[in-house]
Structure 1
Amino acid sequence: MEKNHISWDILLRKVRRTLSPAEEAMFQEWLTRDERHKEYYERIRRVWSADETTCELDTDISVMIAGFDEHVRKERDSRRKKIVRYVYRFVACLFILLAVGGGILFLNKGEKQPDRLANVNKEWVPGGNKAIILLADGKKVDVEMLADTMLYKVDGIEVQKDAGVIKYSGLQKSEVTYNTIMIPKGGEYQVELSDGTMVWLNSDTELKIPTVFAGDERRVYLSGEAYFAVTKDERKPFIVETDLGNVKVYGTEFNVKRYRDDGQLKATLVEGVIGFSSDRIAELKLKPGYRLSLAEGSETPEIREVKVYNEIAWRDKRFSFENETLEEIARELERWYNVKIVFTDPALKELVFSGTLSRYGKIETMLRLFEEGVEVKFTIESDTIKVIRK
């Protein structure tokens, strides 16, 4: 073994205080050999000693950490600027991946946190069950304003506030009327449609629906992001209409994401079969595990196999990123925490990260995580979080 290298297993057992006498001697010798070794170990200890960590060691993570060690060893004699640019990005991805299975707070016990993040969790808390129902007559029902114990019922609508579900009973009327479920930034809600279809609505989303499905189809209108578990009815196809095209199904589960600031539509199939079409695109069929992406102005959708969990993690109250840019992640944080994030250096938008964290953690956890490994820091000015280079 090279003198500057030490196995991840020894570092982990050191944190857990389970080293043998021989391993302890090996660790101490390695620690005193280079000042950077102490800093490296302290970073690992802060992760695994954090009060809020719940994750356990994963084989793949262990292999990746070993890869990081190997990279540092091989590149140590190269130009420092090149090392810093590559390794910082690698470390950032590593630390995020360590959070799989639990929200890790990068907080050393007893350590005072930087003032620039001190007020983040007071002003920008995670989202929760929030919705406004725009009724057919133009009246608005703000679900947050309903009494906690109140079961709101009107025109075939039942709101179960504690459960975070809006139910439509399918009350038949002489004419079809429409409601719009509006989810603000920092909100989410579930809707049970009159046919039994369940819809999960993400932040900053609007879903226009008929109070009862009449005719030979079931059509809804979406802006934002929603997960659909459609009740099977071969006689009445279910159609999700967006401004870029329609997703058509007969009974299946899938996710549709169409935020205008993303500049594209994404439809991911979990099970069953869906078809996508528009005025300029003939119907294309998707298989489970595949995602269709269509950029604004394009007539050629991209269909490729994806890790479905990354696409639908929000429904399970998680953030899950894989090779996503900091700009893309920032948009997700803006919607969920109802914040504004601006970049003072456009180049920082292109930093790439992977990992999984709880959506119900404090935003400062995410900000510390990014600061830990790459050349960025976050400052608060009024109602804005600025991303700047260290």
Structure 2
Amino acid sequence: MDEKVLDKYIKGEATFKERQQVVDWLDDDEKNVREMMALHKLHDIAVMNQAEAGEISPKPEKQHALWRKIGVELLKVAAVIVVLLGIQVLMKTDETGYQTLYVPSGQRAELTLPDGTKVWLNSCSRLVYPQTFGEEREVKLDGEGYFTVAHNDRQAFVVKTSVFDIKVLGTEFNVKAYSASGEQRVDLLDGSVELSGNAIGRKAFRMSPRESVRMVDGRFERLRIDDYDYFKWKEGLICFNNESVGSIIEKLELYYDTHIIVENKNFLNDVYSGKFRTKDGIEQVLKVLQLEHDFTYVKDDNLNLITIK
């Protein structure tokens, strides 16, 4: 990949064609994603240092060589490795040393925490975690995350949401806990987790493998997991299995951070099954739905609004 194009992309100066080239390059190989992460982080450091010192930035050819050299070293010592899957995620560190990772709409990210726990984050999700774990392993989630927790008998891992506290020693589970949504759920695929919080009551609730616990508008539900395709979101797929069009539209609003007004309500209870790549965008889903359901839509980019007629 031409380093001048990467430089323009990081600085926000790339043309549409160049941005597409970079996105395709990122999708080709995970190593490219890691290189971009290192380059972007180094750019931010360089900008801050120059602003503080009032220095002039080095010549471009020297700057590129320096970025590449230091970028490799950054990846070697990084405590938390973030895989950017096709686009830049947003990260910041506060004065207490906690980091916040936010995944924009229509995107996803994968990271490895300091203890070796792997986390996949879905669109419009925010994870807050410490740079290093002390006596506790605790993170905060607003959104959807899939966790494969590194086992530690002496130190439980806790995921805090607006409704649940999820305590585990080492297991695999999915949490959907968007604060703006009326539904929050925990799906346990392997191992054991313990739920606590006001929604659960005074006594903690222990889940069993292949069990799903959901809180829908204040109602507590226990179900068996019967659709594992749902969890393919971490692979970049949105899967619907005999799901109502109304429910699909709600998920599209959530995942793509877009407001959808439905004027034609006749088909909302119709069901649909299908799989879509997240990166193809919301319009691709709507166009496929049009093949089986009679509706038209108008998209207003300025208002971030889609009207279905």
Same fold flag (TM > 0.5):
yes
Q: 1:181 to 1:387 in 2, by over 3 A?
A: same
Match status 1:328 vs 2:241: no
Hey, what does 1:340 align to over in structure 2? 259
- More strand by percentage: 2
What are the superposed Cα offsets for residues 233-261 of structure 1, whole Å, 9 maximum, x if unpaired? Answer: 01111111111111111101100001133
Q: 1:310 to 1:261 in 2, by over 3 A?
A: farther
What are the superposed Cα offsets for residues 99-148 of structure 1, whole Å, 9 maximum, x if unpaired? Answer: xxxxxxxxxxxxxxxxxxxxxxx9xx99x99xxxxxxxxxxx98697799
* Counterpart Cα distance in 1 of 2:111 and 2:87: 5
Q: Shift of the alpha carbon at 1:184?
A: 1.9
Q: SS at 1:235's partner residue?
A: coil
Q: Shift of the alpha carbon at 1:275?
A: 1.8
Match status 1:197 vs 2:197: no
Q: Does the CA-based 8 Å contact 2:86-2:107 persist in structure 1?
A: no
Q: Determine which of 111, 134, 155 is the counterpart of 1:214.
A: 134
Which has the larger Rg? Answer: 1
Q: Determine which of 261, 281, 294 is the counterpart of 1:375.
A: 294
1:258 partner amino acid: A
Q: How does 1:142-157 map onto structure 2 within 5 Å?
A: 150-151=71-72, 153=74, 157=79
* Counterpart Cα distance in 2 of 1:165 and 1:327: 29
1:247 partner amino acid: I
343-352 vs 283-292, which deviates more? 343-352
Q: How does 1:350-389 map onto structure 2 within 5 Å?
A: 350-382=269-301, 383-388=304-309
* Counterpart Cα distance in 2 of 1:220 and 1:260: 16
Q: Determine which of 295, 302, 310 is the counterpart of 2:216.
A: 295
The alignment covers a number of residue pairs equal to: 242
Q: SS at 2:187's partner residue?
A: strand
1:283 partner amino acid: A
Q: Shift of the alpha carbon at 1:381?
A: 3.4
Structure 2 length-normalised TM: 0.67
Q: How does 1:195-274 map onto structure 2 within 5 Å?
A: 195-215=115-135, 217-274=136-193
Please list every run of 5 or more consecutive structure 1 residues that lacks an aligned counterpart in the other structure. Answer: 1-121, 130-140, 167-174
Query: Bigger relative contact order, structure 1 or 2, given CA contacts below 8 A and separation 6+?
Result: 1
User: What is the RMSD computed on CA atoms of the aligned residues?
Assistant: 3.6
* Counterpart Cα distance in 1 of 2:134 and 2:148: 19
Q: 1:191 to 1:349 in 2, by over 3 A?
A: same
Q: Determine which of 224, 238, 244 is the counterpart of 1:319.
A: 238
Hey, what does 1:307 align to over in structure 2? 226
Q: 1:315 to 1:177 in 2, by over 3 A?
A: same
Q: Shift of the alpha carbon at 1:284?
A: 1.9
* Counterpart Cα distance in 1 of 2:125 and 2:108: 9
1:293 partner amino acid: R
Q: How does 1:7-156 map onto structure 2 within 5 Å?
A: 150-151=71-72, 153=74
2:146 partner amino acid: Y
Match status 1:278 vs 2:201: no
2:106 partner amino acid: G
Structure 1 length-normalised TM: 0.54
